[in-house]
Amino acid sequence: MMKQGLKIVTIGGGSSYTPELIEGFIKRYEELPIAEIWLVDIEAGKEKLEIVGNLARRMVQKANLPIDIHLTLNRREALPNADFVTTQFRVGQLDARIKDERIPAKYGMLGQETNGAGGVFKALRTVPIIFDIIKDMKELCEHAWLINFTNPAGVVSEAVFRYAEFDRYIGVCNVPINMTMHFSDVLNVKADKLVPIFAGLNHLSFVLNVFHNKKDRLPEIMDNIKEKQMTMNNIDPLAWSYEFMQQLGCYPSPYLKYYYFYEEMFKKFMDSYEKHETRAELVKAIEERLFEQYKDPNLKEKPAELEKRGGAYYSDVACSVISSIHNDKRDYQVVNTVNNGHIKDLPDGCAIEITCRITKDGPIPVHIGELPVQIRGLIQQVKAYEELLVDAIYEKNLAKAKLALQMHPMTHSIVSAQKAFDELVIAHAPYLTYYKEN
């Protein structure tokens, strides 16, 4: 008997982002005929899972769609015969992120979710779980695609491509789509008519061209930089200098402000640290308000406040990738995939963030060739850090992970990095049992 409808499994189903994902699936039901969605979480997330799961059921009921929503704390119960698995979890929840941000600050280091010390420890906690999920998928749903939204997406992708022996994986991020919407606004054209050419790494990519009707309109966007700046909810707004942008010749991801405006970003960060208003602390407060709203039995749609969480267009990214694979759309999207000569200045087999055609067989990247010299060095330096960190995780070697942090371009003192690392190891000990004693 032929299978009727698609089965989606979302690991980290109790996330505040889940209503965004459910909305995306509802909007695309005609092209994505989903029969069942399984929301998976762990015991510590049980209450949130039930709150979000009930909201998801109300949303599907309001849309009058025959989608069954299942909730479980057992990943292996959910995975059999899945078509797509999405991952959006946070090991240690937001309290772990608060430690990732506040502990580095004590040593004069900028704490951030995907960059520097915070990114190292989020990766140390996250990648072993991703490896476990893939191991289960190979056994229970070997033909399913894994669509990962969990940060640090670049390091997670690097780990999968280098060590998981699993090729049905795509890393996604909402930064490129936010940038594309910004370009759409500047040019006053529909976003789906633009083909921006991204190249680089997750949270470290640059737009080299923006094609509209086969014409590159990036120079026009750059000329408008004085009037229309782009930022995101989870990054402090700082204006790119018009002169710098003209010299750079390409448009950087907002996360590059952590490198090009390090002193200014560090000062803002330390101000937020002193006030107990780091991004993690603000997000925790937002999430508490969101879950109070989610509990309302009369709420049957995604609340507007969810956009403050920093996940704008998240569902559009994840759902668009899934739809394009299912329907073999061959449209252009920006994803994290494997380098195979597409960017000559980076190793083959490494993870890159790049514009691709999305097909039933996965992403086909555009060919970039050599990177412009003005962006090449930073990308290569961060890639070397990612490679070193992923080797450390695979080898279960915390000493090598400490070396990776010392090599990160946002580390300005190895003395401070060593102290921050040692304290973070103690703070996150319950989530680092995968690693051997050094």
Q: Name the DSSP letter for residue 369.
A: B
Helix (H) or strand (E) holding 38: strand 34-40
Q: Which candidate in 169, 251, 255, 332 is catalytic?
A: 255
Per-residue pLDDT tens over the stretch 73-109: 999 999 999 999 999 999 999 999 999 999 999 999 9
How much is the pLDDT for 193?
Answer: 96
DSSP per residue, 142-168: TTPEEEE--SSHHHHHHHIIIII---S
Per-residue pLDDT tens over the stretch 251-295: 999 999 999 999 999 999 999 999 999 999 999 999 999 999 999
Answer for the pair 353, 339: CB distance below 8 angstroms, yes or no.
no
Residues in the chain predicted with pLDDT less than 70, given as ranges, are 1-3, 226-238, 308-312, 437-438
How much is the pLDDT for 37?
Answer: 98
How much is the pLDDT for 224?
Answer: 84
Residue 71 β-bridge partners: 39
How much is the pLDDT for 158?
Answer: 98
Answer for the pair 39, 4: CB distance below 8 angstroms, yes or no.
no
Per-residue pLDDT tens over the stretch 81-90: 999 999 999 9
Q: Name the DSSP letter for residue 343.
A: B
Per-residue pLDDT tens over the stretch 226-247: 655 555 555 566 678 888 989 9
Query: Is 394 a residue of the active site?
Result: no
How much is the pLDDT for 1?
Answer: 34
Tokens of 252: 């950087």
- Cβ neighbours of 282 (radius 10 Å): 17
Buried b (16+ CB within 10 A) or exposed e, 290-319: bbebbeeeeeeebbeebebbbbbbbbbbbb
Looking at residue 59, its amino acid is: M
How much is the pLDDT for 305?
Answer: 76
How much is the pLDDT for 229?
Answer: 57
Complete domains list, the chain, with CATH: 6-171 (3.40.50.720)
